[in-house]
Structure 1
Amino acid sequence: GGSHVDLVEGLRDGRFYALKRILCHDKEDRQAALHEVEMHGLFDHPNILRLVAHCMVEKGTKHEAWLLLPYVKGGTLWSEVEALREKGTFMPEQRILLILCGGVGGAQQPFSDVHPCRDLKPTNVLLDEDDRPVLMDLGSMNRARIEVNSSREAMAVQVVPSQCVIDEGTDIWSLGCVLYCMMFGEGPYDAIFQKGDSVALAVQNPIAMPTTTR
């Protein structure tokens, strides 16, 4: 598929919204887009981006799923981390705790409903004007326990062996990676990924803490 996000303005209320357009080449893509819509509909939580409206638009032989979402002016957590890194500074620890606690609040409701996020990362966390984190991009959300029985299924979730069970613990692990990113300005496996080495092998080893002091 693939998706694009446009900034749009409501004709009636004058508010800005984010219009996510998901390109659907076939029936499988359409089902995936509708799954994301369904996941949005499960939650009413201040730390989870709400879905304002949606529709499926025909584009010749293809379709586009349009998801109308609130516009969060602060941008993503990753863009904030990058901006601080370019200035040669780190995010204050008190701010990290505030964002982390807010993020946990948003992630706990999917846990209770047995629907973990499964794609928790700095690029999928928005920050509003008050630094309140808002989780977005719920397309990977699914039932809590999934058995992986083949290398193809393992590739779909990127960093797991071909025989394992994926459960709600994946979000706890991902939350730790988000914390690491806020603390040190990069993810624990960014350097490995940039070198082209195997992230799947790297996650099986202890994380080396940076020698750089904050």
Structure 2
Amino acid sequence: MGSAICICSRGVITIENKRYLFVQKLGEGGFSYVDLVEGVHDGRFYALKRILCHDREDRKEAMHEVEMHRLFNHPNILRLEAHCMIEKGSKWEAWLLLPFVKKGTLWNEVEELRDKNRYLSEDKILHILHGICLGLKAIHDSGYAHRDLKPTNVLLEDDYRPLLMDLGSMNHARIEVTSSRQAMSVQDWAAQRCTISYRAPELFNVESNCVIDERTDIWSLGCVLYSMMFGEGPYDMIFQKGDSVALAVQNNISIPANNRYSQSLESLLASMMVVNHVERPYINTVLSQIEALVPIVDGQATTRI
């Protein structure tokens, strides 16, 4: 897994025999921190994600995220540069070294525009959406689902190429539920790992005899598209007000009246946000719908961004 040495007085760390200089903190979540570091060997900047592991189960989950990254070498999925597990007293930290993307997340872009009372153009939305779908297709084709797709888990390169990140919630695409006990287990897992305002309806009240499949991601993708179009997710405000998201997602999505976007884009959004997951399209169908709206050259959407 590589070795890591923290030389705190000099702000230097070593991962897999390469040294990195600590630059600054970038952010933190409930159980993880992200630092900006610079490679001594190449002068490039990286994001170092440090996951706090309190017990063996935490370490297992951190290694699961590493393993999910290792499955992919795709232009729309954030790659893992290196990793290691280090001991800190009675606890451990999993260190994941990732490329640093200066532009930030899709949510940063959406929020910045919204604050200026502006919105993404349809061409730009289609360009970003197409890239997200290519990344999702790679995940789904490998037999997995992302399970926590949201604007803060999509990075944007300077050319607006999206990169899917935070693969820790990924699991097998198809989950067969055959008992009430198993249903409750899946539901509890979703409550912990799938962001509530982007969570598919079938994960709020899991039936005791059903199949959960990768189309949970298609619902979340619809929420991401909605946020690009209207500056916030369709259920963000419901959650912030303390109202029931679980109840709200049982009704058909209401698309705000606007003159910014075509009927075709609104129809694409509606097709993804179907409450009954068996009526939702798979990723290949969504890609075909997007590619019908924009020219495609060498497998990439070509839009004026």
- TM-score tier, shorter chain, comes to over 0.9
The superposition leaves residues 100-142 of structure 1 with CA deviations (integer Å, 9 ceiling, x where unpaired) of: 0111111101111111111111000000011000000000111
Of 152, 157, 160, 1:123 maps to 152
Tell me if 1:171 matches 2:217: yes
- Using the alignment, how far apart are the partners of 2:134 and 2:183 within structure 1? 34
Shift of 1:213: 4.9
If you compute each CA radius of gyration, which structure gives the higher value, 1 or 2? 2
Structure 1 residue aligned with 2:184:
151
Structure 2 residue aligned with 1:132:
161
Shift of 1:212: 5.3
- Using the alignment, how far apart are the partners of 2:160 and 2:130 within structure 1? 11
- Using the alignment, how far apart are the partners of 1:162 and 1:175 within structure 2? 20
- Using the alignment, how far apart are the partners of 1:155 and 1:191 within structure 2? 23
- Using the alignment, how far apart are the partners of 1:89 and 1:191 within structure 2? 19
Query: How many positions carry a matched residue from both structures?
Result: 214
Alignment of 1:109-120 (within 5 A): 109-120=138-149
Shift of 1:147: 3.8
- Percent identity reads 67
TM-score after normalising by structure 1: 0.95
- Using the alignment, how far apart are the partners of 1:197 and 1:156 within structure 2? 21
Q: Secondary structure at the match of 1:200?
A: helix
- Using the alignment, how far apart are the partners of 2:42 and 2:211 within structure 1? 47
Structure 2 residue aligned with 1:43:
72
| Aligned residue identity for 1:161 | N
| Aligned residue identity for 2:187 | A
Tell me if 1:183 matches 2:216: no
| Aligned residue identity for 1:140 | S
Shift of 1:157: 1.2
Unaligned runs of 5+ in 2: 1-29, 192-202, 261-305
Structure 2 residue aligned with 1:30:
59
- Using the alignment, how far apart are the partners of 1:48 and 1:212 within structure 2? 32
TM-score after normalising by structure 2: 0.68
- Using the alignment, how far apart are the partners of 1:70 and 1:51 within structure 2? 8
The superposition leaves residues 143-175 of structure 1 with CA deviations (integer Å, 9 ceiling, x where unpaired) of: 111245343531321342132432111111111
- The root-mean-square deviation of aligned C-alpha atoms, in Å, is 1.4
- Using the alignment, how far apart are the partners of 1:201 and 1:3 within structure 2? 31
Structure 2 residue aligned with 1:198:
244
